[in-house]
Structure 1
Amino acid sequence: MSQPRATKVLVIGYVWPEPRSSAAGGHMMQILETFLEQGWDITFSSPAGTGEHRADLAALGIREVPIELNNSSFDSFISQLAPDVVLFDRFMMEEQFGWRVEQQCPDALRVLETSDLQSLRDARHLRLKERLKASDDADDFSELFAKALRAEFEFMAGTDLAKREIAAIYRCDLNLMISDVEIELLVEQFKVPRNLLHGCPLMVDLPSAPPAAFEERAHFLSIGNFRHAPNWDAVLWMKTTLWPLIREQLPSAQLHIYGAYTPPKATALHNAAQGFHVMNWAEDALQVMSAARVCLAPLRFGAGIKGKLVDAMLCGTPNVTTPIGAEAMHGDEPWPGAVTRTAQAFADNAVQLYKDKTRWLDAQAQGLQLLASRYQRTRHGPALIARINECRLHLSSIRRDNFTGSMLRHHQHKSTQYMSQWIEAKNRLIT
């Protein structure tokens, strides 16, 4: 008897995944590894250039195929590939290639990996800019952090980015959501049908070895891709406000800041005399995290859940963050460190965690418990596979019941199709 054909998956990436540079890259690799465990046949394509820290997908048995925007060569490529599942990595890829996928492979399940809600992150960034423009006070952001989902909706609803992003969510058969807060925002405020969404947080294996001891660790650490605007804002806030407050209490304290794609404006902040060290990219993020005593993540805006904080838990490193940093990450469970709303509270808790071994050990244990309860790969990986298989089985009824998505595909894809074809024709004339 012949073996059944392996499920074919095409992933259309916004970028080539860089798991050591960003949480988005790490999450994509976790999804790909989950597919590989099923024996699925995976092709990864992207119109982006190759980054210096990209993962070696070919070594994992994943085909790598560069593709072009606004080029009908993609039609021939996907028609020949004939995937069963197409995963768009972020909504911009669905906008660019969704209509081509529907034309060439109408029976393929279309899945969107949202990574986080970009429109929510951008709306929060705009709010922060307004707050900073209205007041010189860089300490208290309690009001900014206290916004309810309704207020988030009201700020987002008028933006073009939210309309584009949520339209892409409707057009797909299934959407992977990393944050349960964002699921509730979409369902309760934007009225997106819950059955179009699937909670898929960061998926990790629990550490097998005990973490480094309190006495073996030194210094504060902050880490994050410098191309990600919330991380750069956090570095600036540390430099101007938070780190001076910490050094008032710990004059010999040292802060090591790591991040991929460090720009000159970041290296210019390096000041050894102040204990403020900009260290560039970490070859092994878990190694430097394991050597630090406390992780600092002072995020004033953002969305999704934070890979750096999951890494901190994996390494047994307590952290200090804000409500934005901790959002959707711990439910009703205690936070492995401290969640603060003001600069002074942030500094005070950072110092206390650094000095108080008993509190530090409690936070470390809470982090390991949180990993076990919310982030285990052995739980979320099978749930993702089961949901995809269920959607493939009931694809016709999912699309029938999602009339709004069908309507949006009809109108948006026509306009995108004609614009893309016009750009392609123009490019041919130029060349």
Structure 2
Amino acid sequence: MKQNKVLFIGLVWPEPTSSAAGKRIIQLVEFFLNRGDQVIFSSAAAKSESSFDFSTLRGGTTSLSLRKTDSLSLGGGTSFTSLRGGTTKQSQNLVTEFPIELNSSSFNDFIQELQPDIVVYDRFVSEEQFGWRVREVCPNALQILDTEDLHFLRAAREKAFKKSEEVDLYNETTYREIASLLRCDLNWMISEAEIDLLTNQFNLSKTLFQYIPFLEEEISTANFISYQDRKDFIFIGNFLHEPNWQTVLKLKKEIWPRIRKELPIAKLHIYGAYPTQKVWDLHNEKEGFLVHGKAENAKEVIAQARILLAPLPFGAGQKGKFIDAMQVGTPIATNSIGAEGMFDQEIPGIKSDDLEEFVQKTIELYSDEILWTKSQELGVKIHNEKFQKETFYSNMEEQIQFLQANLEKHRQQNILGKTLQQTNHNALKYMSLWIEEKNKK
């Protein structure tokens, strides 16, 4: 199997300690490194203190073929050294980081030099911004979109929640995201429920989608903290993500007062990156509602709690907090939205959409050691059966090889995608070129 050049175009620089989306994209990078591919991660966003350090992804050395003299300037003092021909240099870092610019022909120059075999878009917005340039300069590159979750589904549910109305999936984001899905050769979906929605309700071809959940190592109960050594409840989630903020409000106003009445010495610990003042204002020691901000180590704080509380009012995709909870043996109290895409009939804890039933089942789970232990053990079983990375690596590898060998035929069969590449391509292209010219002035 030949070594591929894999270009990731990140919507942001990944922050795996702040969000599940950051964790997810790192797992996909690791998949390609495991194949022996050369990975270049790019993004037009600014880095933060929490941005992932790709130099920590080590597993030996990788060969970078560098030309001795050519260096391509992309502005701002940044340069990219060609990865074609010439001498070979051994590097300890398996991933090359490279900043790119929006609405700039410098990106075309960059990929012209790089000539990636595979391009992975991090969420549909990245494909909208850069996809037309990739297709124009590198038409033979296999283009993969990792959706993270369906943005239009989450947005529609959020609107319905806030306006107390039925969910309407037909909105501007829906048309934009589905167009992006159709323009790509393959879409990695984190939820089977979302594949069903796209293929059944929207009648999209199943050949465009592949189910890839969180990709995890096998776990056991060996190092779990015991029931007796745990106490209290926890919620954790990035506060830039609206479902997390609404969940905390729901806990504060509706759920926690009822639980606290039955368990007067218990506390609820709220953790999450990027808390605003309105989050901190919810802190109330008398009520046992404690806001801590970002956890330095999410799994450590989840492991101390007896139950993870996560009755999500809306959302989509899989929930990284649930993966963390199963990995440290913390049962989960959630609802249908939370369980969607992760748990079918079996729940490593409790699930209910009825407020009073949710509260009573949660109190029972917290107080009953036998029930709690069974939920913990079920979490290990579900985790190892549904999220082991080795199970999915072979399927991912097989699909990539098949598409690379049959790319033109695959694209011809996706007539809607080819149509959208022609029409949307020009609209996105000329809008971007107009912005680029405007910026020059």
TM-score of the superposed pair, with normalisation by structure 2: 0.90
Give matches, 1:52-131, under 5 Å.
52-60=49-57, 61-131=94-164
Give matches, 1:132-151, under 5 Å.
none
Identity %: 44
1:315 counterpart residue number: 328
1:18 counterpart residue number: 15
1:356 counterpart residue number: 368
Q: Is 1:247–2:244 an aligned residue pair?
A: no
- 8 Å contact 1:224–1:308 — kept in the other structure? yes
CA distance in 2, matches of 1:385, 1:284: 32
- What amino acid is the match of 2:141? A
CA distance in 2, matches of 1:258, 1:383: 36
Pairwise CA distance, 1:343: 2.1
Q: Is 1:301–2:301 an aligned residue pair?
A: no
Pairwise CA distance, 1:51: 2.3
Pairwise CA distance, 1:5: 5.0
1:45 counterpart residue number: 42
- 8 Å contact 1:41–1:62 — kept in the other structure? yes
Pairwise CA distance, 1:206: 1.8
Q: Which has the higher contact order (CA 8 A, sep 6+)?
A: 1
Pairwise CA distance, 1:242: 0.7
**1:369 aligns to what SS in structure 2?**
helix
CA distance in 2, matches of 1:44, 1:292: 36
Give matches, 1:211-230, under 5 Å.
211-230=224-243
2:428 counterpart residue number: 416
Pairwise CA distance, 1:385: 2.0
RMSD: 1.2
CA distance in 1, matches of 2:294, 2:122: 24
CA distance in 1, matches of 2:343, 2:287: 34
1:6 counterpart residue number: 3
1:389 counterpart residue number: 401
Match of 1:192 among 197, 204, 213: 204
CA distance in 1, matches of 2:359, 2:50: 33
CA distance in 1, matches of 2:326, 2:55: 30
- 8 Å contact 1:58–1:64 — kept in the other structure? no
1:202 counterpart residue number: 214
CA distance in 1, matches of 2:304, 2:8: 36
CA distance in 1, matches of 2:292, 2:322: 19
- What amino acid is the match of 1:318? P
Pairwise CA distance, 1:264: 1.1
**1:256 aligns to what SS in structure 2?**
strand
1:267 counterpart residue number: 280
Aligned length: 404
Q: Is 1:235–2:232 an aligned residue pair?
A: no
- 8 Å contact 1:261–1:280 — kept in the other structure? yes
**2:269 aligns to what SS in structure 1?**
strand
- What amino acid is the match of 2:97? E
- 8 Å contact 2:156–2:169 — kept in the other structure? yes
Query: Is 315-324 or 52-61 further displaced after alignment?
Result: 52-61
CA distance in 2, matches of 1:278, 1:120: 29
**2:53 aligns to what SS in structure 1?**
coil
TM-score of the superposed pair, with normalisation by structure 1: 0.92
CA distance in 1, matches of 2:341, 2:433: 41
Pairwise CA distance, 1:210: 3.4
1:347 counterpart residue number: 359
Pairwise CA distance, 1:342: 2.1
Match of 2:25 among 8, 25, 28: 28
1:176 counterpart residue number: 188
Question: C-alpha offsets along residues 159-209 of structure 1, whole Å, 9 cap, x if unaligned?
Answer: 010000000000000000000000000000111100000000011112253
2:391 counterpart residue number: 379
Question: C-alpha offsets along residues 223-277 of structure 1, whole Å, 9 cap, x if unaligned?
Answer: 0000000000000011111110111111111011110111111011101111001
For structure 1, the 5+ residue unaligned runs are 135-143, 145-151
- What amino acid is the match of 1:303? A
Pairwise CA distance, 1:320: 0.3
Structure number having the greater helix percentage: 1
**1:156 aligns to what SS in structure 2?**
coil
Pairwise CA distance, 1:52: 2.2
For structure 2, the 5+ residue unaligned runs are 58-93
- 8 Å contact 1:17–1:28 — kept in the other structure? yes
Question: C-alpha offsets along residues 374-410 of structure 1, whole Å, 9 cap, x if unaligned?
Answer: 1111111222122112111111111010010000010
Pairwise CA distance, 1:54: 1.3
- 8 Å contact 1:177–1:199 — kept in the other structure? yes
2:91 counterpart residue number: none
CA distance in 2, matches of 1:348, 1:50: 44
- What amino acid is the match of 1:78? I
CA distance in 2, matches of 1:331, 1:105: 41
- What amino acid is the match of 2:135? E
CA distance in 2, matches of 1:109, 1:370: 33
Question: C-alpha offsets along residues 337-375 of structure 1, whole Å, 9 cap, x if unaligned?
Answer: 111112222221221111100100110011011011111
- 8 Å contact 2:231–2:266 — kept in the other structure? no
CA distance in 2, matches of 1:76, 1:358: 62
